[in-house]
Copies of this chain bind each other. A is one copy, B any other.
């Protein structure tokens, strides 16, 4: 069965069984989200950080302390993502298939919008999405753009990149601008050096894709940003998803499209 045709429950079942795979292209029409779970004492600051940086950290849902499901995610957040990354003292210490043993009673899970949400709309508008064509993970990069900090949370903006044929750049900007809750329009069009990205072929997360002649790289704010911030800020304990290995929500991509 084509993974695009799976329901969120069917996909989660596969991930729960141990499949570790990027979720780009999975469960067509269903919204995917970034996970960042932090200790309760940090939840106010994380929510404030998200408020200060809405394009990078659009909060779709938040759970109660210790909860492993939320209003928009009826599965088990400890097992139903294809991969997890564990942080201690700001260091990524392990990539895991589940985090049942690590899920503390005071952990507060945040689900943050993901640009996979607008990829179907890009394709429908005739904009090719290379990493979907290749069946790989989207390339993501740390930038030299600082997020607006809070007293104890600071760090760089993370972006995802998609190469777009020159004549379709305007379309891509317009289409994604209709999805402000899942990063919206690109934060940058063109020269990666302006974001401090030295080499597009070496993404910090995900897989590289070719930028062909006549194509322009477009950069969107990315929901991996909170994980970069956890690292830069030396947060004592946090759990994120493995970049590109998302939580698949019980919500529809169209729910996040604005009217215009």
Contact = CB atoms under 8 A, between A and B. Distances in A.
User: How many of these chains are in the complex?
Assistant: 2
A45 to B, nearest CB: 9
A62 interface: yes
Interface in A47-85: 47-48, 50-51, 59, 62, 64
B51 A59 contact: yes
Contacts of A62: 48
Nearest to A59: B51
Interface residues of A, number: 10
A104 interface: no
A43 interface: yes
A151 interface: yes
A144 B44 CA distance: 30
Nearest to A42: B44
Contacts of A151: 64
A44 to B, nearest CB: 4
